[in-house]
Homo-oligomer: A and B are copies of this chain.
Amino acid sequence: MRTTLFSVGDVPVVLWTPDDDATGPRPLILLGHGGGRHKQDPELVALAARLVGEGGYAVACADAPNHGDRPADAELDRVVADFPARIAAGEDRAALIAEAQALMAGRTVPEWRAVLDHLRQQADVGAGPVGYWGISLGCGLGVPFVAAEPRVRAAVLGHGGAPNLAAAAAAITVPVAFLVQWDDERVPRGQSLALFDAFGAAQKTLHANPGRHGEVPGHEHDAALRFFQRHL
């Protein structure tokens, strides 16, 4: 697997491609990393290796604002700095996280669309079908992105259920696979199931597994690969 690091505007991006000399178009999977992680998080690299090695896909991930190699974002810092006081004043932690993710999504939707424009001009990517995979923060940013971006034809989302995602979820009509951690300590189960309900996709499937928020059983990487193979 070939790893290429570059920036699109101010956004640091990693692109993984097969070790062949084939030029595009080939299907492209965009990954969204989790909160507090970054574009080369080891779990993402492992997933990318499977998608590249077994699927022959190009795979890319961009650092989200205030993550990875990006400079501090003053507005986001200001919002998050207030959280401890707001939680102390009785506000719901999950609702605050959803508010911060919505603010970030206002940046990442246009950023990721520009990244996609750039990637599709690369000889070893080209203008093939596009998929998206993102859980947790990658779901909070991914739902508005997939809703806004008609080039995305299939999405794996999950570990999220913020009610403020419902309208964008309803606008998603491409196939969705939605991952739920049955014992998620951060996302109430009812909110996860409601978000699955909200997706406008006729072809949607929910996979639930025991475990806490950050855990993903390895067989869900197999399932994601096969999901993309079915739909891209």
Contact = CB atoms under 8 A, between A and B. Distances in A.
Contacts of A197: 182
Interface string A61-100: 0000000000000000000000000000000000000000
Contacts of A213: none
Interface in A172-210: 180, 182, 196-197, 202, 204-210
Contact of A205 (B217, B226, B230): B217
Given A219-B230, A226-B222, A208 B209 contact: no
A123 interface: no
Interface of A is mostly: mixed
A114 interface: no
A206 B207 contact: yes
B204 A210 contact: yes
Contacts of A209: 204-206
A223 interface: yes
A196 B210 CA distance: 10
Contacts of A222: 226
Contact of A223 (B202, B217, B223): B223
Given A219-B230, A222-B226, A223-B223, A205 B208 contact: yes
Contact of A210 (B202, B208, B210, B217): B202
A206 B180 CA distance: 9
Interface of A: 180, 182, 196-197, 202, 204-210, 217, 219, 222-223, 226, 230
